[in-house]
Structure formats: C-alpha cells, structure tokens
C-alpha cells in the first residue's frame, strides 16, 4: 500500500493543516529522537474530493534539497533527493502506548508513516477509510512551481466519469447480434486544474480510441462510443456459444485511451503521456434450443 511519489517544487499552499510527526514534536518519546544532521521538513495534509495529499515542505538549505551544495543527489525530477512514500503505520508493542494516547486526539483517523530515501521520516493522521490509491505525496521546495509535476498529479486524479457498458438485449442469444455502447460519458474532453504558488496548471484529456473486448476472445477497435438502444449501435458482436463456459456471463469491457495535455496560466498546450481507463460488465448469453412436442 505505497502511495505514488509526486515531487512539486512549489511554495507551500496557504490553508494546509499542519500535521507534524508526533515523534518529531516529542523528541525522546517511545525511544525516537530526530537527528539534526538528517533532512528536516514541515509536513501537512490537505483533503479534497479526489483524495488526500501529503505535502512535505522543504527549505532550500535542508539536507537533500536542491539548494544544498553538499547533497550528492540533486536530480530536480525527484525533488533533489527527496523520494518519498506513505504507508499505513504498523502499530507494534513499542508504539502502542503512544498510539493509544495520540488516537484520542485524532478521532476517525489512522496514522500513516511518510518515509523518504534521504532519511526523513514523519507521521501524519489520515481519514481511517482512505485508500492508498487516494493518497499522494508531494514535495514542496523552494519558491517556484514545477508545472510538469503539478500536471502529473492532476492527471493521476482526473475525474473520469463512472462509465458503464450498455447492452441490448440484456441477455444475449447465440447467433444473434448484441449491441453495445458507453453509458455515463459523452466523449467530450475532461479537464482538471490546480493553483500552487500563484501558478495555475490545467490538464485536459480527450478520448482517442475505444477497445472493446467481448469475453469470448473477440475484440473491436473503434473511435465510437456506440449508440444507445433503441438506436442500432455500430458496436456489435455475435456470440457463437453460450456463456456457460465462462461461468455464466462473459466479461465485456471497454478500454478507453485518452490523449493528455497541460498548460500553465492559460498558455500554450504541452503534451503528456496518454492514459487508459477500463470498464467491465458481466454479460450472460444463452443458447436457444428447439423442443419437439407430440400431439
């Protein structure tokens, strides 16, 4: 359960909720004492509709930062040596007393450990029901914004609708064509934006292709979402056998490929790597049989 690393060279956004490590606030508690020669940073948490972001605010003179001339790792694409992840904290006997004390101050939350490759560690309290896929770690460094990193964060959380696969008839019949289409999305571009340090980054994704998989080995590549019934959809497939061999239903899916781009403060668009999203439905198919009856 490791959150994806994102490094953003930016000023810490106003209004963030400070969530310093409880260990760092109480040096010596539970046997842990921060070392002055290790990297230091302020840690804060911001919750939003797309998940939780853990911000690590690094001063340019902190060990491991790009402004520290003694650092051996100054790769700006990884925050100058700050490569960080977050995991749910393992509560062992050594920390149980601390946990019982601190949990009373954080109702409905659980502790997560933030670790960086350069030795920095901190603890933050996140909503107890948050999933690892909803957590991002962002390194805030210096006084300028890295737009590409902000765009990568936005692209990871772009609000793709909850698409479903429409089908007619509801139960397929062998040797008769079934029609398929996309429900819950009209194919228009989807955008997301964020502002950090006075810089606004906007991301836009646009569908470029749809790959339909019908569960029996057949696939169709298309640029069409299909047409909902009662229109006759151009996405169709005829099954040659029932779905009994597939456990009662064929897994029908549509994988959508989106082109992606971003721009800064309304300027020219810059390309991003495309993304794909897949949506699946179970589709039962029956075999009709003639029955002879005597009179």
78-108 pLDDT, tens digit per residue, is 345 677 888 888 877 777 888 888 888 888 8
pLDDT of residue 272: 94
- In the chain, % helix, strand, coil (3-state, to 5) comes to 15, 40, 45
Residue bearing tokens 């290790």: 38
Among the listed residues 54, 79, 56, the one whose alpha carbon sits nearest the alpha carbon of residue 67: 79
- CATH number (2.30.38.10, 3.40.50.880, 2.60.40.10, 2.60.120.10) of 164-286 reads 2.60.40.10
Mean pLDDT of 260-282: 95
Most confident range (mean pLDDT) of 38-42, 103-107, 110-114, 234-238 is 234-238
Torsion angle, alpha carbons of 123, 127, 128, 132, to 10: -70
- Strands (DSSP E) found in 27-100: 42-48, 51-58, 84-88
Contact 253, 277 (CB under 8 A): no
What is each CA distance from 287 to 146, 244, 290, 293, in whole angstroms?
58, 9, 10, 19
Tokens of 171: 């139960």
Residue bearing tokens 């979402």: 225
Asked if pLDDT for residue 163 goes beyond 80, the answer is yes
Among the listed residues 265, 197, 202, 152, the one whose alpha carbon sits nearest the alpha carbon of residue 9: 197
User: Which residues belong to CATH 2.60.40.10 in the chain?
Assistant: 164-286
Q: Give buried/exposed letters for 197-227 (b at 16+ CB in 10 A, else e).
A: bebbbbbbbebeebebbbbbeeebeeeebbb
Contact 281, 164 (CB under 8 A): yes
Residue 144 burial (CB < 10 Å; 0-12/13-18/19+)?
A: exposed
Contact 150, 139 (CB under 8 A): no
Contacts of 102 (CB under 8 A, 6+ apart): 22, 111, 125
Most confident range (mean pLDDT) of 38-47, 48-57, 113-122, 187-196 is 187-196
Integer-rounded Cα radius of gyration of the chain: 26
Which of 17-31, 36-50, 199-213, 237-251 has the weakest average pLDDT? 17-31
* H-run or E-run covering 149: helix 147-156
pLDDT of residue 227: 96
Provide the CA 111 distance to its chain's centre, in angstroms.
20
- Strands (DSSP E) found in the chain: 4-8, 17-18, 42-48, 51-58, 84-88, 109-116, 121-127, 135-141, 164-168, 172-173, 177-183, 190-196, 199-213, 219-222, 235-238, 250-264, 270-283, 285-286
Asked if pLDDT for residue 68 goes beyond 60, the answer is no
Segment 220-246, tens digit of pLDDT: 999 999 999 999 999 999 999 999 989
């Amino acid at each position: 359960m490791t959150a994806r690393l994102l490094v953003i060279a930016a000023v810490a956004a106003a209004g963030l909720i400070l969530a310093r490590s409880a260990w760092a606030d109480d040096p010596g508690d539970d046997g842990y004492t921060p070392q002055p020669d290790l990297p230091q940073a302020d840690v804060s948490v911001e919750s939003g509709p797309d998940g939780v972001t853990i911000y690590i605010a690094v001063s340019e003179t902190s060990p491991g930062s790009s402004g520290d001339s003694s650092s051996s790792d100054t790769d700006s694409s990884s925050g100058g040596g700050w490569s960080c992840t977050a995991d749910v904290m393992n509560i062992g006997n050594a920390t149980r007393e601390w946990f019982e004390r601190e949990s009373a101050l954080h109702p409905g939350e659980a502790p997560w450990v933030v670790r960086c490759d350069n030795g920095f560690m901190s603890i933050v309290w996140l909503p107890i029901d948050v999933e690892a896929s909803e957590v991002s770690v962002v390194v805030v460094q210096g006084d300028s914004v890295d737009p590409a990193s902000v765009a990568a964060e936005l692209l990871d959380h772009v609000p793709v609708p909850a698409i479903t696969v429409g089908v007619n008839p509801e139960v397929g019949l062998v040797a008769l064509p079934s029609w398929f289409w996309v429900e819950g999305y009209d194919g228009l571009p989807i955008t997301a934006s964020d502002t950090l340090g006075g810089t606004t980054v906007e991301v836009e994704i646009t569908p470029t292709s749809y790959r339909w998989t019908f569960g029996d080995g057949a696939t169709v590549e298309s640029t069409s979402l299909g047409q909902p019934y009662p229109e006759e959809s151009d996405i169709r497939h005829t099954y040659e056998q029932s779905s009994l061999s597939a456990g009662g239903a064929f897994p029908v899916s549509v994988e959508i490929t989106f082109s992606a781009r971003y721009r800064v403060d309304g300027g020219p668009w810059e390309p991003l790597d495309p993304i794909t999203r897949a949506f699946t439905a179970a589709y039962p198919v029956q075999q009709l049989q003639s029955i002879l009856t005597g009179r």
